[in-house]
Structure 1
Amino acid sequence: MSLVNFSVVTGATSGIGRGYAEELAKRGLDIVLISRSEDKLRRVAKEIESKYKRQTRVIQTDFTEGHSIYPAIAQQLEGLEIGILVNNVGMNYTGTLANFLDVPDPDQMSRLVLPGMLEREKGLIINISSESASQPQPMQSMYSASKIFVTYFSRCLNAEYRSKGITVQCVAPLVVSTNMTYNISVNPLVKSAASFARDALNTVGYTTYTCGCLTHALQTLHFNHMIELLYMVLGNHSTSYL
């Protein structure tokens, strides 16, 4: 992977974001880590510098504060040649619509890095979605809806910019062992964040939409097939309102 020096990773201090940050550093890129906790940012940056001998920069910000944060992020990114952006920040929101607060906008971070990528005629944007967006789920309405936005935003952006040397990939995993999934034990169906990031990065250049790894792809096929069968069975017993 040979773009330019810096990769920007949001939500970079734990989970999938940290997995991407470390894997990109391992592959020879310098890393800009963006997250909410200053202490965690400094600690992870120090570990990456020590382990992989790459430069790091940290940007402390809270994405739940909305659009007001982006001018400050843009200022801190100014002057850097950014070849890769990983839009990972987000949380698993449960509960009803009334309890849903906000999710960060991948379009805003993409807007910050695209001008430089267009000028250099190369770049990679990776947007982390979720396989939960593929089917309706109770008590997950806003989370799933926000993820389906990420999926289609990624596809549209890739269609718009692929002729200009920029790849936009959407990654839609199932269960990965992270804080968001209460650090569920790794098993044949559940990947560690580091292993998932490694496998997902290996798909770059081959596909612009991926579950990230083979085990998740196989689970997705099975899951979607079972859901379709369930809908067919329930549909035969549903009440007609027409």
Structure 2
Amino acid sequence: MDLMEIFFISLGAVVVLYHVVKLVLFSRILFPKLWFPLSKSFFTSMGEWAVVTGASEGIGRAYAFALAERGMNVVIMSRTRERLDLVAKEIGEATDQTVKVITTDFINENVFSEIEDQLKDLDIGILVNNVGVLPGVVFEQTQESRGSCITLQFVLLSFPFFQMCKIILPGMEKRGKGLIVNISSGIATVPFPYYSLYAASKIFVERVSQGLQAEYKDKGIIIQAVAPFGVSTRMVSYQKTNIVTLSAENFVKSSLQYIRAGDRTNGSICHSILVRPTSARITRKKRVSIAID
């Protein structure tokens, strides 16, 4: 066998090995229960309480319900008392778990000391940072209104999640366990015209989450950024559900299976598959027409 044959055989072996590894990695997305099994007591083992921000509807409401169904008492937070009370009643009747309501407007940076006071005596094992806002496709044209819009988005999209981590992480570190889920978005993967600030803020969420996970992983704390694409919520005018656009309940049910899948996940099989095609399409066409959340 000459050197050329050895070279091509070796090259072929490397290519086959590469694709085998890719297939194995892809199977982790397809079979999360096999690769990332969770015990029935996994969530309750983290602590007695779960805190969910932006919980009056949509993804936040679905997380609050899902965690209560798994045996946790929940603190639900949003700025609309009437909606929160309704959600609290629904969760209590469906699960018999205790629900604590905190009405707060995250645009006011002074609210966090009050939030900390209301949470300080609770054994908080899980935090879901979901609060956010999606800007209109076209900003107002006046400079004054544009500036106000940008300030509002920055405060709602970036500041609350970091402050909530700051409030709750010390208790988790003291107990040596905890889970923090920070909701990002699939559009953080690509440049996204007309939603530039929203996409950039979600990149911020992901990078901070990944940094915090590196810092706290050895302390028994799981910190994960979850980046969905299409989820049917009020934020996207309740688009019709399909294979790509999931209901909030189905998305959350899926995403909880990937808790041990690393510091970033898209939360579902279909959204994970979307990542590469979407990146290629935005490069070619400079725009994306899929639903976002």
**Distance (whole Å) between structure 2 residues aligned to residue 70 and residue 117 of structure 1:** 18
| Displacement after TM superposition at 1:230 (Å) | 4.9
| 1:34 equivalenced with 2:77 (yes/no) | yes
Q: Find runs of 4+ consecutive structure 1 residues off by over 6 angstroms.
A: none
Q: Following the alignment from structure 1 to structure 2, what is the Cα–Cα distance between the partners of residues 115 and 185?
A: 41
**CA–CA distance in structure 2, aligned partners of residues 124 and 10 of structure 1:** 14
Aligned pairs (5 A) from 1:58-207: 58-65=101-108, 67-94=109-136, 95-96=138-139, 98=147, 99-100=149-150, 101-102=152-153, 103-104=155-156, 105=159, 106-207=161-262
Whether 1:227 aligns to 2:269 is no
Larger Rg: 2
Structure having the higher helix fraction is: 2
User: In structure 2, the residue corresponding to 1:79 is in which secondary structure?
Assistant: coil
* Mean Cα deviation higher: 179-188 or 215-224: 215-224
Q: Deviations over 1:178-226 (max 9, x none)?
A: 0001011111111000010110011011222111100111112211132
Q: How many residues are aligned here?
A: 230
TM-score (norm 1): 0.91
Any idea what the Cα deviations from partners look like across 1:8-52, whole Å, max 9, x if unmatched? 000001000011011111111110000111111111001101101
- What one-letter code is carried by the residue in structure 1 that aligns with 2:116? A
Indicate the larger mover: 134-143 or 54-63: 134-143
2:21 match: none
Deviation at 1:138, TM superposition (A): 1.7
Relative to structure 2, which stretch is displaced further, 134-143 or 39-48? 134-143
Q: By how many angstroms is 1:131 displaced?
A: 1.1
Q: Take 1:171 and 1:64, find their aligned partners in 2: how far apart are those partners?
A: 23
- SS of the residue corresponding to residue 65 of structure 2 reads helix
Kindly indicate whether residue 62 of structure 2 is the aligned counterpart of residue 53 of structure 1: no
Distance in 1, matches of 2:283 and 2:81, equals 45
Unaligned runs of 5+ in 1: 232-242
2:58 matched to which residue of 1? 15
More deviation in 204-213 or 219-228? Answer: 219-228
**Secondary structure class of the residue paired with 1:202:** helix
- Paired with 2:204 and 2:261, the residues of 1 have a C-alpha distance of 22
Gaps of 5+ in 2: 1-41, 140-145, 287-293
CA distance in 2, matches of 1:19, 1:12: 8
